[in-house]
Amino acid sequence: MKIFTALQIREADAYTIKHTPISSLALMEKAALACTDWLAEQHFTKYPFAVFCGMGNNGGDGLAITRMLRNMGCDAHAYIIPHSQQASEDHQANYKSLQRYYPESLHTLQTFPQLAKDTVIIDAILGTGLNRPAEGLIADTISRINSCYEQHTIIAIDIPSGLLTDTSSVNQPSVQAHHTLSFELPKLAFLLPENAVRIGEVHILPIGLHPDYIARTPAKFNITDGAMMRDLYKPRKPFSHKGTFGHVLLIAGSYGKMGAAILSAKSCLQAGVGLLTCHIPKCGYDIMQISVPAAMCITDEQFDHSSSFPSEEEAKKYKTIGIGPGLGTAAGSIWALDKLLDHYRQPMVIDADALNLLSTNPKTFAKVPENSILTPHPKEFERLFGKTDNDIARLELLSQKAVERRLCILLKGRYTAMASPDGELYFNATGNPGMATGGSGDVLTGIITSLVAQGYSSRDAMLLGVYIHGLAGDFAAAALSQEAMTAEDIPAYLGRTFLTLHKNQ
Ligand SMILES: NC(=O)C1=CN([C@@H]2O[C@H](COP(=O)(O)OP(=O)(O)OC[C@H]3O[C@@H](n4cnc5c(N)ncnc54)[C@H](O)[C@@H]3O)[C@@H](O)[C@H]2O)[C@@H](O)CC1
Ligand SMILES: [K+]
């Protein structure tokens, strides 16, 4: 799914109006109807409404919504903020309709109104046309709306007023909504952790923008989805054998952190690898053999951490290496990783403590093979690549580093961002807060390593691995609840997840 900029959204709007028998005013009517239908479905229409309107088309939406709510018998009032000399054409048309049918519902905002108990606040002040920070009466109204957050439900139309669509809004005043009702496609602003408290729950309502414009217009950012993943997925051929699906070496675990190695190993197997060998310290031998009988084990000479990774000759038998879960940051492990990178040139999957080893050893980092996949969470990302002022700057840094170092890098989060060496940037939308629990990342490493071994390109293994990791988590949460599920439940639901990738699903 594409993420369009504010400019592209305007173009999609204009293209739809030009190429279909729908006027700009009729498109606004459709958008307002989609919002009022949603309000009715969610049983908000039993409450009174205060609709705060700007003077552009976002305000026009608000006026049309007020009329439709009145048509449904609701007690709705529109408060127009006079921030401009002239309202947009469609705003004027909707103003006239409301004045004609429900003149008592129209107000020009002078002071913030007294709101009756349970009044639902609709924020239709500014939409994608925001071109400067909100100030004066608009900023005052935004702050008054936000002061009602505990007592009233606040619903933003298209985007919370004051929030920028495509760039960071850090330090800018904006409405803080419980729900955002947006049109047709998600906006970049909705995917940024820094906006989480302002956007609330986002609901994307279709309004019939022209599919040709959407299909032929390239977007800088995309969200992966089921259709794309079904295309990437490689079904198994009938005459295949375990050699067809690759041999993984997983270097993981240390004293007190063998659980991470187990979770990763189980997930690697459940994601379909042909053969799995785990390199673990001596303390982990019984634990691994008992917990994951299908995995072979090589024990390090050290008891509590790993300090000697395979030689050039030994490493040749592995299709790929996954390294990091529970590894620890012992000096011996740094030295061993550095030596491994002197000869190992295949793409690897690097996670957790192995990333921390790289962040403190730039010379070792420089040896990481091209097309390797790095899987940092935000703190690990910061240690590797430095601090940024906001989420947009961090996305740019992510993309820049992936291109510069010829790596696939994924930045974990609610919408994990995934960058590949050719500059593409995708977001993942599967997953849920039940996965915010120790071990989820180890599971992801196992899955992605497994896919690389099975012949997926690094980019495809990253996109597909993150997608199925999230979807398996969604199945686990649906069956067990977000609270009760643990990281171990994610590989257990991989089977159901793979079935959704089959073409006939
Ligand atoms: N493209 C679409 O898909 C559709 C868009 N519609 C609505 O149209 C909206 C966009 O409308 P507009 O382009 O008119 O933009 P806005 O309604 O966001 O407002 C733009 C107006 O506000 C002024 N303005 C911008 N920032 C300001 C600030 N900080 N303080 C004071 N004034 C400011 C601008 O100069 C302009 O006059 C969307 O957000 C959506 O709500 C819907 O009506 C129909 C479908
Ligand atoms: K708005």
419 shares a domain with 476 = yes
Q: Which atom of ligand 1 is nearest to the CA of 60?
A: 43
Tokens 């030994």 belong to residue: 314
Residue 101 C-alpha to ligand 2 middle, in angstroms? 24
Q: Tokens standing for 126?
A: 């500014």
pLDDT tens-place string over residues 180-213: 999 999 999 999 999 999 999 999 999 988 899 9
Neighbours of ion ligand 2 (CB under 5 A): 58, 123, 156-157, 161
d(CA 458, CA 445): 13
Mutation to probe ligand 1, out of 158, 166, 174, 203 (largest number of atoms < 8 A from CB): 158
Residue 127 C-alpha to ligand 2 middle, in angstroms? 5
User: Does any domain span residue 90?
Assistant: yes
Query: What pLDDT is stored for residue 193 in this prediction?
Result: 95
ipTM value for the complex: 0.97
Phi, psi dihedrals of residue 383, rounded to the nearest 5°: -65, -35
247 shares a domain with 214 = no
pLDDT tens-place string over residues 468-485: 999 999 999 999 999 999
Q: Which residues have a Cβ under 8 Å from the Cβ of 400 and sit 6 or more positions away?
A: none
Find the CATH number of the domain harbouring 14.
Answer: 3.40.50.10260
3-state secondary structure of 79: strand
Ligand 1: residue whose CA is nearest its atom 26? 130
Residue 349 C-alpha to ligand 2 middle, in angstroms? 42
Phi, psi dihedrals of residue 502, rounded to the nearest 5°: -65, 140
User: Does any domain span residue 235?
Assistant: no
166 shares a domain with 264 = no
Torsion of CA 137, 143, 145, 151, to 10 degrees: -150
User: Does any domain span residue 250?
Assistant: yes
User: Based on the structure, what is the number of domains in the chain?
Assistant: 2
Q: How is residue 21 annotated by DSSP?
A: S
Phi, psi dihedrals of residue 312, rounded to the nearest 5°: -55, -45
User: Does any domain span residue 236?
Assistant: no
User: Does any domain span residue 62?
Assistant: yes
Query: What pLDDT is stored for residue 238 in this prediction?
Result: 82
Residue set of the binding site: 57-61, 123, 127-133, 158, 161, 260, 326, 377, 412-416, 441-442
409 shares a domain with 354 = yes
Give the amino acid at 196.
A
User: Does any domain span residue 447?
Assistant: yes
Dmax (CA) for the chain in angstroms is 85
Ligand showing the shortest atom-to-Cα distance for residue 35: 1
User: Does any domain span residue 102?
Assistant: yes
Which whole number is the average pLDDT over 294-306?
A: 95
pLDDT tens-place string over residues 374-410: 999 999 999 999 999 999 999 999 999 999 999 999 9
Where do runs of H (alpha helix) occur along 174-255? 196-199, 211-216, 226-232
Q: 353 near 264, Cβ under 8 Å? A: no
Which whole number is the average pLDDT over 487-500?
A: 97
Mutation to probe ligand 1, out of 5, 9, 131 (largest number of atoms < 8 A from CB): 131
Mutation to probe ligand 1, out of 126, 137, 199 (largest number of atoms < 8 A from CB): 126
pLDDT at 323 over 90: yes
Residue set of the binding site for K(+): 58, 123, 161
113 shares a domain with 153 = yes
322 shares a domain with 190 = no
Find the CATH number of the domain harbouring 266.
Answer: 3.40.1190.20
Query: What pLDDT is stored for residue 504 in this prediction?
Result: 65
Ligand 1 pocket (Cβ < 6 Å) reads 9-10, 13, 27-28, 31, 54, 56-61, 83-84, 88, 126-134, 138, 157-158, 183, 207, 209
User: Does any domain span residue 126?
Assistant: yes
411 shares a domain with 289 = yes
Ligand showing the shortest atom-to-Cα distance for residue 17: 1
Q: 208 near 183, Cβ under 8 Å? A: no
297 shares a domain with 182 = no
481 shares a domain with 434 = yes
Query: What pLDDT is stored for residue 450 in this prediction?
Result: 98
Residue set of the binding site for AMP: 412-416, 441
379 shares a domain with 252 = yes
3-state secondary structure of 319: coil
Ligand showing the shortest atom-to-Cα distance for residue 128: 1
Residue 141: count other Cβ atoms within 10 Å of its Cβ: 23
281 shares a domain with 347 = yes
248 shares a domain with 124 = no
Query: What pLDDT is stored for residue 451 in this prediction?
Result: 98
| Domain termination site, one of 219, 251, 275 | 219
Residue 218 C-alpha to ligand 2 middle, in angstroms? 26
Q: State the residue range of the domain holding 472.
A: 226-230+243-499
Q: How is residue 504 annotated by DSSP?
A: T
pLDDT at 505 over 60: no
Residue-averaged pLDDT of the chain = 95
